[in-house]
């Protein structure tokens, strides 16, 4: 995102645990792009091209949503296998800039 993202006037990152899933939402005012559904694996000697590939490889769900006002939201979802002691409510975390 650093190499490809244009300067953005604002962003918001939120992380929460919802129904045994870790949900990460990144919203920003940056440049619009059209992500590929399943990007090919980059060449081993490639210096770039791994960002979206890694998102799809590491997460169970990856969604890109571009709002009419130009804001882009990336939704990353990872299913969790929580231990019984860990099934207590967690406070969502939010960061903005």
- Residue 76: pLDDT above 80? yes
Three-state secondary-structure class, residue 31: coil
Residues 17-63 pLDDT 10s: 888 899 999 998 876 666 656 677 888 888 877 888 888 889 999 99
Whether 73 shows a pLDDT value over 50: the answer reads yes
H/E element, 51: helix 51-58
**pLDDT tier at 1, thresholds 50, 70, 90:** very low
The whole-angstrom separation of Cα 22 and Cα 94 is 14
For position 60, what pLDDT does the model report? 94
Domain positions in the chain are: 11-96
């Amino acid at each position: 995102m650093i190499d490809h993202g244009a300067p953005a006037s604002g962003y918001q990152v939120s992380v929460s645990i919802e129904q045994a899933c870790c949900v990460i939402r990144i919203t920003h005012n940056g440049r619009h792009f059209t992500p590929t559904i399943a990007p090919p694996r980059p060449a081993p000697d490639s210096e770039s091209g791994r960002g979206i590939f890694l998102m799809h490889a590491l997460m169970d769900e990856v969604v890109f949503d571009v709002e009419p006002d130009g804001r882009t939201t990336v939704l990353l979802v990872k299913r969790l296998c929580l231990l019984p002691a860990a099934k207590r409510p967690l406070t969502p975390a939010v960061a903005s800039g």
